[in-house]
Amino acid sequence: MTSLVTTAGDASFLDALSAGDSPLHRLDPRAKLLTTLAFAAAIASFPKTAVLPLLPFALFPVALAAAGGVPFGYLARRLLLILPFAILVGAFNPLLDRAPIPLGPFSVAGGWISFLSILLRFVLTVSGAIVLVAVTGIHGLCGALEKLGVPRALVTQLLVLYRYLFVLLDEAGRMDRARALRSFGRRRLGISAAGPFLGTLLVRTWGRAERIHLAMLSRGFDGSFRFDRPLRFGLASALFTAGWLVLFALFRSVDVPLALGAFLVAGGR
Amino acid sequence: MSHHLVVARDLRYRYPDGTGALDGITFRIVHGESVGIVGANGAGKSTLLLHLNGTLLPASGEVRIGEELLTANRIPDVRRRVGMIFQDPDDQLFMPTLADDVAFGPLNMGLPPEEVKGRVAAALERVGLSGLEARPPHRLSGGEKRRAALATVLAMSPDLLVLDEPSAGLDPHARRQLIGLLRAFTHTKIVATHDLDLVLDLCERTIVLDHGTVRADGKTQEIFADEALLASCRLEKPLSMQGCPVCGNPATGS
Amino acid sequence: MHMADALVSPVVGGTMWAASAATVAVSSRRVQQGTDDRRVPLMGVLGAFVFAAQMINFQLPGTGSSGHLGGALLLAILLGPHAAFLVVVSILAIQALLFGDGGLLALGCNAFNMGFFPAFVAYPLVYRPLAPAGATSARRLVGAIAAAEVGLVLGAFGVVFETTLSGISDLPFRPFLTAMVPIHLAIGLVEGAVTAGVLTFVLKTRPDVVDPASSPAPTTTSRLGAAFLAAALLVGGVLSWFASTKPDGLEWSIAKVTGRAAPVEPDAARAATSLAGIGGGLATLALVSATGWALRRRR
């Protein structure tokens, strides 16, 4: 399957998930956005060798995925897709930081610890982003962004891009498939054909933009894109945000797994 | 009512790159009429339609909507009265949700939010899409998109509906639904299409265009029985009239 | 190359967010003041086009690998710098949200590396002078390649600085830079060539697309703006570097600000490998999984 097809499929799947209905879906999108940003910021604020303190943060994507109906298989698959990149990026650390750390009877280079930290950060932040969209949706997020002061031109841009994303992915996919069926043996587009291929798609896209504009004018468009998304930041949203922020602060300041482990070890004695 | 709603008088237009277009079109359409516009590709159907809401202005000749001459400064007014639906519904559904799209026109007309809400609900009800307000357009089926495009225009309460290839790409069921819907509308309708059977079902009057001129203008039944005329305009009889025991002609064209 | 949330520190991420947000504010105002109301569908649809185009891989001659169009320079040529910048930001945002490419915190970095440099530096200062309206296809090729190179190399510098200043990856500055620059020079060659190829093709059927009547030249205001932002970056960069040369940069900074002594941080690496650490880590994961399972059952 081409990356175009899988991308379109995954985006479509996530889009469908975001249309679901759960108590989580019904919370104010600003609450979910701000909580996820705090989540990412808390994780980023850890020193590079942090591994244990990062683990409790997994509660956020896991709980949201479970309550919001996001299949764990889907999440796992998307994480596996980014893992090679994460490994590539973090791989320098074990090579460069060789200060030995004892691990039972063995010793391991300090770089492996920070490598593990990098991997954990990838897994956590990517899951956080995916789960955010799955329970909020792009439209919900755009509504939140607008209320939070993001300029109208950018919010409009996000909405129109998203609206036509699937149309363009589909059109590009069809063109690519037609081309592939005429390319015996040689699977990929040659570089000299890339200009005309993309140029054709561009011309068609430009034509589409003109037709959309025409349709807008025919319905009285005067330049301003009006959409009203009334949001209500209710008690549930407030509790959600406050609860998670407290947890993040706790996880950031206390090494919960270490404490838990010490408790278990002491209790076992 | 018999006063004219749409009048074209010796309408002429030529595209900037020289491709021909309209070479003297004249007709009158009254309130409540349902008119089909048929012709080969390039005959000028779409170009004519674009003159009806001021997208294009005539090089010479005139267009009148509701007795008023269509000039540049009358365009906003005309666009309230003439609801145009284009070939590709994806081009007309550009807002985040269906409700947003249907509300787009009324909001641009400056109507208060409460009234807009009412119009949206009524329009969706009319086309049978109530309950799909929050649906983003890319998750509608082909038939639903067509009906949604109709709703976006109905919400503006136009006097005239102009449709460009409304049945293209629809499966038989969706097509039948659309025809049923359009028959129920009392609006004046102008339908440009290759779907001659739709014209037969929907329009009592047909105008045949050929190379930018009006070749025939009259009762649909009569025009579609005139094989010589149809052939000279690169057309055929509607499929339902071919192989017809009454007309006595075989279905296979020759 | 995308910056990822995993590699960015809050200080670096925050600084770049501020820089990008300021640019977004300026660009939005410019775009909204524009009189061409085709921009709403055009920007949106071209954004979707670039998004899709980035997934079309073509064979790079000579090497066994494939490349794809980045698109930022092309957008700047078609839409002008301000609109192009907004479109690039929107593409990056959707990529971060839908696919976890890049990240939410790193969005500011990516917007700057992959949007600001092509739109506000490469296009007006390199492409436009080399290939003004009506230029031959040869000049377009040269202009596109030169502009793409400049934009991508600046972007590469951005990534290297941001990664190093964040201090999470151990990648040392000089080797990282030495590796990144040639790679991006090569990518720039391809990007420029394909961009020029697209323009040449489009010119045959839709010349109005490539050479619109209004081609914004860099005004004094936008040059001042660019200078101001560069200065802001320099200041932010120095501060970040300063904060990160301390072993526990964040804690040190906080301690300095509040006047209290920095908390004694247990050696995190050693803690991770102790018995309590491993046991506690496993127990934590078990608890998190159980919570997830329980919540899933309740639905």
Domain boundaries, chain A: 3-166+232-268, 192-223
State the smallest CA–CA distance between residue C125 and chain A in angstroms.
Answer: 24
Residues in chain B: 254
Least confident of A115-119, C23-27, C171-175: C171-175
Domains of chain B (ranges, CATH numbers): 4-241 (3.40.50.300)
Higher pLDDT, C233 or A145: A145
* Residues C60 and C146 occupy one common structural domain: yes
pLDDT digits (tens, 9 = 90+) for C155-166: 999 998 898 888
User: Which range has the top average pLDDT, A5-9, A51-55, C36-40, C195-199?
Assistant: C195-199
Residue of C nearest to A67 (CA): C295
The reported pLDDT for the residue numbered A94 is 76
Nearest to B39 by CA among B217, B225, B241: B217
pLDDT given at position C215: 43
In this complex, the residue of A15, A216, A217 whose CB is nearest that of residue B94 is A216
pLDDT at residue C248 is higher than 70: no
Min CA distance, A229 vs chain C (Å)?
A: 19
Contact A172, C56 (CB under 8 A): yes
Whether B55 sits inside 8 A of A167 (CB atoms) is no
ipTM of the complex: 0.91
Q: How many Cα neighbours within 13 Å face the side chain of C208?
A: 5
pLDDT reading at C168 higher than 70: yes
Asked whether residue C230 falls in the same domain as residue C274, the answer is: no
Smallest CA–CA distance, residue B210 to chain A, in Å, is 25
- Number of domain units in chain C: 2
Model confidence at C25: pLDDT above 90 = yes
Does residue C294 lie in a domain region?
yes
Separation in Å, CA of B81 to nearest CA in chain A: 10
Residues C294, C231, single domain; the answer is: no
Is residue C259 domain-resident?
no
Residue B118's CB: how many other CB atoms inside 10 A? 14
Tell me whether residues C272 and A210 touch, CB distance under 8 A. no
Q: pLDDT for C284-296, tens place per residue? A: 888 888 888 888 7
Whether C291 and C171 map to the same domain: the answer is: no
Chain C touching partners, 3 or more CB pairs below 8 A: A
Other CB atoms within 10 Å distance of the CB of residue A243: 11
Q: How far is residue B116's CA from residue A194's CA, in Å, rounded to a whole number?
A: 47
Q: Report whether B28 contacts B6 (CB < 8 A).
A: yes
Q: At what angle do helices C72-79 and C39-53 cross, to 10 degrees?
A: 160
CA distances (Å), B138 to each of A12, A166, A214, B134, B233, in order? 10, 7, 19, 12, 37
Do the chains contact at A159 and B138, CB–CB below 8 Å?
no
Return the pLDDT at C4: 80
**CATH of residue C140:** 1.10.1760.20
Q: Which residues in chain A are closer than 8 Å to C41, comparing Cβ atoms?
A: 160, 209-210, 212-213, 216
C174 and C272 part of one domain: no
Which residue in A139, A219, A228 is closest to B136 by CB distance? A139
Q: B-chain residues within 8 Å CB-CB of A159?
A: 95-96
Distance of residue C249 Cα from the nearest chain A Cα, in angstroms: 8
pLDDT recorded at residue C246: 42
The whole-number average pLDDT for the span C132-152 is: 91
Task: Mark whether C241 and C295 lie in a shared domain.
Answer: no
Is the domain of C291 the same as that of C190?
no
- Give me the total of CB pairs closer than 8 Å, taking one residue from chain A and one from chain B: 72
Prediction pTM value: 0.87
Q: Which of B79, B138, B139, B163 should be substituted to probe chain A, the one whose Cβ sees the most A Cβ atoms within 10 Å?
A: B138
Q: Any chain B CB within 8 A of the CB of A171?
A: no
**C15 in the same domain as C69:** yes
Backbone angles phi, psi at C285, to 5 degrees: -60, -40
If asked whether residues C101 and C227 sit together in one domain, one would say: yes
Q: How far is A234 from chain C (nearest CA, A)?
A: 22
pLDDT tens, residue by residue, A222-245: 887 777 677 888 899 999 999 999
B111 touches chain A (CB under 8 A): no
Interface contact C61-A161, CB threshold 8 A: no
Q: State the Cα–Cα distance between residues A110 and A70, nearest whole angstrom.
A: 36
Contacts of residue A167 in chain B, CB cutoff 8 Å?
A: 90, 138
Ranges of residues in chain B with a pLDDT under 70 are 1-3, 20, 245, 247-254
A24-66 pLDDT tens trace: 999 999 999 999 999 999 998 888 888 889 999 999 999 999 9
pLDDT above 50 (res C254): no
Q: Is B55 within 8 Å of A160 when comparing Cβ atoms? A: no
**Cross-chain residue pair A215–B92, CB shorter than 8 Å:** yes
Provide the shortest C-alpha distance from residue C70 to chain A (in Å). 12
Q: Is residue C238 part of a domain?
A: yes
Asked whether residue C258 is domain-assigned, the answer is: no
Residue C104 sits at the vertex; the CA angle it makes with C103 and C109, to the nearest 5 degrees, is 75
Q: What is the pLDDT of residue A52?
A: 87
Interface contact A186, partner C, CB < 8 A: yes
What is d(CA C281, CA A257) in angstroms, rounded to the nearest whole number?
5
- What is the average pLDDT value for chain C, to the nearest integer? 80
HSE-CB for A32 with a 13 A CA cutoff: 31
Tell me the mean pLDDT in the region C81-108. 91
Q: Is residue C285 part of a domain?
A: yes
Same domain, C145 and C279: no
Predicted local confidence at residue B141, as pLDDT: 92
Taking CB atoms and an 8 Å limit, are C284 and A260 in contact across chains? yes
Residue numbers of the domain that contains C24: 5-251
Same domain for C289 and C204: no
Which A residues, 4 through 63, put their C-beta within 8 Å of a C-beta on chain C?
A: 4, 7, 10-11, 14, 22, 36-37, 40-41, 43-45, 47-53, 55-56, 58-59, 62-63
Q: Encode pLDDT of A172-203 as tens digits.
A: 999 988 888 888 776 678 888 899 999 999 99
The distance of C98 to chain A (nearest Cα, Å) reads 6
List, as ranges, residues 131-160 from A with C-beta within 8 Å of B.
Answer: 139, 142, 159-160
Residue C167 C-alpha from the chain's centroid = 19
Q: What is the pLDDT of residue A150?
A: 94
Q: Do A211 and B86 touch (CB under 8 A)?
A: yes
| Residue B76 to residue A166, Cβ atoms within 8 A | no
Q: Does C256 reside within a domain?
A: no
CA diameter of chain A: 79
